[in-house]
Chain A
Amino acid sequence: MLLSRRTFLATPMILAALPATAQKSRNTLKAAFNRTVRTLDGNYSNWRESDILGLLTDDALYAVDPETGRAVPLAARGHRFVSPTTLDIELRDDVRFHDGSPMTPEDVVYTYTFLINEKSKNNYLTRFATWIERVEKTGPLTVRFHMKRPNVMALYDFAMYSKVRKAGVYDDASKPDGINAEAQTLQLNGSGPYRVTQFRPGQMLRLERVANYRAGGPKGSPAIQTIEFRVIPDWSTQVSEVISGGLHWTYGVPEEIAAGAAATGQVKLLSGPSMRTFYVGLDATGKAPGAAPLADKRVRQALNHATDREGIVRNLIKGNSRVLDTPCDTVQFGCDKSAAVHYAYDPTKARALLAEAGATDVAFEFWTERDRPLVEAILAQWNAVGVKSTMRFVQAANISQARRDGKIAAEFASAGSFGIPDAGAIIPDRLGPTGRNFTGDEELKKTVVAAVSTYDEAERKQHFSAAIRLATENAYWVPLWTDGQIFVMSPELEYTQPPDGMQRLYFARWR
């Protein structure tokens, strides 16, 4: 199904064979998004497109170093934990907003006080409100974060989930609660290496390089003057644009369409990693409809043995995807592969485990909102060992609702970790004390909490390893694979993709 449909879609690409006409004149990089961009304000969007834009238009206090995966100062000069719950940040004195004004401690205090204000309704309210108690200015270039609890992920949270705004930017006495959440939706006063010069929501946006952007920082000195993004929903059209020279860069292209484009010899393909981790979440509490057999560890282990992950990756996904045994990406800190139990593809063993558990009539709904062909493949493999699971394909929103209502026995799920190379970006959300944990395992929850409550790296590793061991020994999930991402680019463009999967276009250059 997957191959035939995609091959069908790719046929027009294979037919095309003509000289590339990609133009780098005017030093303009033309890129495409597959999905709409409705706001410029990264504080009000958790979409990947907004992450890509945010890296270009905003300088957060910290950034993730693509080489080391560590959080490094960006708008900040450095930090110091005065105590486990008191964090001092020193700001640089040369960071400027796009309106020319300097970034001050007042701006940082305003931003994080705003982000933890329930009335702000920003996308990351919960994330920050759970650990920031208050923020205060402590000097001409210093601020202090008073924390509700120790948070080893604090610097990553600064880097990936928040954009520093100029003080007062959301204030509007005419609005309810005095807050205008849309203040930066269409016109952004950012602080990054690129400023927005044109934005038509859902259609296009144009960025211009900031002339006096400081050199020597983690974002370097961007070489490209102008970056234009267009929203083109159809992958084949995107790739056609790259072939014709109308685009230089696009990402996330399906493998068959990308291969068809490559066959023309007029585009460059880059198969890059992504930190998006896929797994089958199981209701080990057995409470969801049809999930009763899943309360038995042997049934869950059988499902692990019944899933030919290598085969699916090799034959269907291809690209840069990697099979996982862990409930996290092994490039993440703390994601200890050796702590995980490996379940080899072994249908005979799966059948034996099901028989041992007396599970002769296992039938439940398998929920998914994406990748129908991959789920069909998993279900066929499960069916082969006697598990009569059926697919329920719905929109993402419906899965959220069903999850809250406790209706999901099994779910094809994923977590992107926002490109944060630390197991703390995924494990606490899925196996900690949250609404997404269906293991019913209190010891596991405690172990996960311990892993994010200490700043000691050795101790964290130890807790994460214990959590991974618990999760995999009990087969609470069927860990699957990481997602790859394929870039189709103009041969004239030089672009590399770091392991964290984040797209950093400020490093793009012309050959």
Chain B
Amino acid sequence: MVRFLLGRLAMAAAVCITLSLVTFVLIYTATDPAAAIAGRDATDEEIDQVRRELGLDRPWPVQYGAWIADLAKGDFGTSWYWKQPVLDLILEAAPTTILLSFMALSVTILVAVPLGVIAALRPGSLVDRLAVSFAVAAQAVPTFWLGLVAIVVFALQLKWVPVSGDASLLHFVLPAVVLGLVSVPAIMRLTRTGLLDALDADFVRTARAKGVGPVAVVWRHALKNAILPIVSLLAVQLGEKLGGSVVTESVFALNGLGRLALQSILAADLPTVQMLVFVFALTFVALNVLADLVNAWLDPRIRIG
């Protein structure tokens, strides 16, 4: 187990460093950070002034080396754009994204798993086709449009929820549903396929032969076996949501990590973008490790280490 965790830690470090290097190079290739920070109407002199002030006149490998050195000392840096410690910015935005992500994931599980189960129990039936059609539709509709239509129906006409913002838990309901629905197709299809395979397996036939009821067969035997890949996929989905749901956060004016990332990228705010990428990469690795551990717990045949 210790070897497994150490191995994953080493992988996390490698992923983070590689990603930060790629991010650094991409931002430098894509734009001139000094000009982006100086603003649209800035004069050449003002841009040069920003360049000198931020040390952007040094070669980029030197700048990258300095950033790594600071990080090693626990200095997360100061945002060029917001002029605040990057750690403060991330800590301020993180709760919004974490809450939104977990609410959205709950929506995904509550919708996708039952739909997948129903579809698998009656393969080829009308119910199955309806469930699959729903999943395809959910995947096809652009998130921003779904969000706007949801605002019109539920916030403007029915007035059940507020239009936008993050002032209360109620403000998160609509974005969580919209964001959660995006992940439904993948989870639903995986549940359906996994359950179909499991229902055909010998152990299910044995269970049925032993007189186990249909509900117990599905929930206690078949689904437990089908759920392993779903757990892994849920970890990836949660990672994506925690990595910032840029569109959803923008449509619903939520001040989370996704919006922070978007604003920072547009402003070429390298210290903030670098740290966000670092945090996102760590989150992904951590969630994957967690998924492995959960799978090992669910299936004793899986051994870690």
Contact = CB atoms under 8 A, between A and B. Distances in A.
B152 A16 contact: yes
A240 B32 contact: no
A395 B36 contact: yes
B250 interface: yes
Interface string A214-257: 00000000000000001111101100110110100000000000
B84 A201 contact: yes
B152 to A, nearest CB: 4
Interface string A2-45: 00000011011101101000000000000000001011000001
Interface string B35-51: 11011111111110110
A415 interface: yes
B293 interface: no
A91 to B, nearest CB: 29
B297 interface: no
A46 B255 contact: no
Nearest to B262: A233
Interface string B222-255: 0000000000000000000000000000111101
Contact of B32 (A46, A123, A200, A401): A401
B23 interface: no
Nearest to B49: A121
A12 B83 contact: no
Interface string A101-137: 0000000000000000000010101100000000000
A243 to B, nearest CB: 6
The residue in B39, B50, B53, B252 that gathers the most chain A C-beta atoms within 10 A of its C-beta is: B39
Contacts of A16: 152, 156-157
B151 interface: yes
B44 A435 contact: yes
Interface in A398-416: 398, 400-401, 403-404, 415-416
A244 B155 contact: yes
A455 interface: no
B42 A400 contact: yes
Interface in B79-107: 81-84
The residue in B33, B47, B155, B156 that gathers the most chain A C-beta atoms within 10 A of its C-beta is: B156
Contacts of B139: none
B31 interface: yes
B253 to A, nearest CB: 4
A395 B163 contact: no
B77 interface: no
B35 A230 contact: no
Contacts of B255: 200, 202-203
B250 A400 contact: no
A394 B164 CA distance: 30
B271 interface: no
Contacts of A233: 250, 253, 259
A233 B266 CA distance: 13
A46 B253 contact: no
Contacts of B152: 12-13, 15-16, 240
Interface stretch (B61-69, B112-120, B141-149, B203-211): B141-149
Interface in A445-500: none
A13 B163 CA distance: 13
Contact of A230 (B44, B50, B84, B253): B253
B263 interface: yes
A396 interface: yes
A389 interface: no
B156 A243 contact: yes
Given A16-B156, A125-B46, A46 B82 contact: no
Given A38-B81, A125-B49, A397-B35, A46 B42 contact: yes
A398 B250 contact: no
Contact of A9 (B33, B148, B155, B260): B148
Given A12-B149, A202-B82, A232 B32 contact: no
B163 A244 contact: yes
B36 A182 contact: no
Nearest to A9: B148
B164 A240 contact: yes
A397 B41 contact: no
B30 interface: yes
B268 interface: yes
A416 B42 CA distance: 12
Contact of B41 (A36, A46, A244): A46
Nearest to A21: B159
Contact of A231 (B50, B252, B253, B268): B253
Contacts of B36: 395-397
Contacts of B33: 397
B253 A415 contact: no
Contacts of A231: 253
A47 interface: yes
A321 to B, nearest CB: 19
A416 B39 CA distance: 13
The residue in A38, A397, A398 that gathers the most chain B C-beta atoms within 10 A of its C-beta is: A397
A185 interface: yes
Contacts of B44: 400, 403-404, 435
A38 B83 contact: yes
Interface in B253-304: 253, 255, 259-260, 263, 266, 268
A370 to B, nearest CB: 9
A201 B149 contact: no
A234 B35 contact: no
B151 A12 contact: yes
Contact of A415 (B41, B144, B145): B41
Contact of B165 (A126, A230, A434): A230
A38 B253 contact: no
Interface in B131-174: 144-145, 148-149, 151-153, 155-157, 159, 162-165
B164 A18 contact: no
A116 B251 CA distance: 42
Interface in B212-229: none
Give the 3 A-B residue pairs with the shortest CB-CB distance, closest first.
Answer: A397-B35, A397-B36, A400-B35
Interface of B: 30-36, 38-47, 49-50, 53, 81-84, 144-145, 148-149, 151-153, 155-157, 159, 162-165, 250-253, 255, 259-260, 263, 266, 268
Given A15-B149, A398-B30, 5 more contacts: A39-B83, A202-B260, A237-B151, A244-B156, A400-B32
Interface of A: 8-9, 11-13, 15-16, 18, 36, 38-39, 45-47, 121, 123, 125-126, 182, 185, 200-203, 230-234, 236-237, 240-241, 243-244, 246, 369, 394-398, 400-401, 403-404, 415-416, 429, 434-435
9 contacts: A12-B151, A16-B157, A38-B81, A234-B250, A240-B151, A395-B30, A395-B266, A401-B32, A415-B41
